Amino acid sequence: MSITKRQLRRIIKEEKVKVLNEQTVPSDYTDALFGEMSSIWEYYSSVPGLSPEERAAKTTADIEAVTQEFLAYMPVLSTQEQDNENY
């Protein structure tokens, strides 16, 4: 199964919507997340010898992993920000 650039962009947009819908996140955090997603895309686009299927699978898996790590980290960020607001 091959994935096109358009399909990958759609996946990235879906992940972005997921993150934004899960909780309110400061824009600098989301900018960092989407910058990382773009870096992943650029990296796998430049790796020679990968079939389109391998490139798509690796890119998608890494983007999903980064998104999950980000979401797992968010409660920590939210707690720290709330603590800072209380002072």
Sequence spans of domains, the chain: 5-82
pLDDT at 73: 73
Measured between alpha carbons, how far is 53 from 56 in angstroms, rounded to an integer?
5
pLDDT at 23: 61
Give backbone dihedrals phi and psi of 50, rounded to 5 degrees, phi first.
Answer: -85, 135
Q: Is the dihedral of CA 68, 72, 74, 77 positive or negative?
A: negative
pTM for this entry: 0.56
**6, 65, 37, 7: CA torsion to nearest 10:** 0
pLDDT digits (tens, 9 = 90+) for 16-39: 777 777 666 567 777 888 888 889
Cβ contact 10:39 at 8 Å: no
Cβ contact 70:52 at 8 Å: no
- Arithmetic mean of pLDDT over the chain: 78
User: What is the percentage of the chain residues whose pLDDT exceeds 70?
Assistant: 75
Q: Does the structure show a pLDDT above 60 at 78? A: no
